Amino acid sequence: MEERAHSYDHLTPRELQVLDLAAGGFCAKEIARRLEISPKTVDRHVENIRLKLRARNRAHMIQLAFRFGLQGHLDIPFIIAG
């Protein structure tokens, strides 16, 4: 029952990207730079992910990403600002 409550199959592709990068240790500013979106948009995605996964906080959200085997599996290009 708990696994189903924390299912990730209803996350959007962008939310999966944000989750992957957050689980990789990137802060909102770094995620924003890599995905070419604003840090506030990243924060909004993180909150949506947290609610969808029913995670208590960001750390729990990242723990769930590892449990689901999501971290490091998405092909996200590195964007160099400037």
Q: What is the pLDDT of residues 2-60, one digit of tens each?
A: 555 567 778 999 999 999 999 999 999 999 999 999 999 999 999 999 999 999 999 99
pTM of the predicted structure, to 2 decimals? 0.79
Residue 73 domain flag: no
Q: Tell me whether residue 42 is in a domain.
A: yes
Residue 79 lies in a domain: no
Around Cβ 79, how many Cβ atoms within 10 Å? 11
Per-residue pLDDT for 82 more than 60? no
Residue 1 has pLDDT above 70, yes or no: no
What CATH number has the domain bearing residue 40? Answer: 1.10.10.10
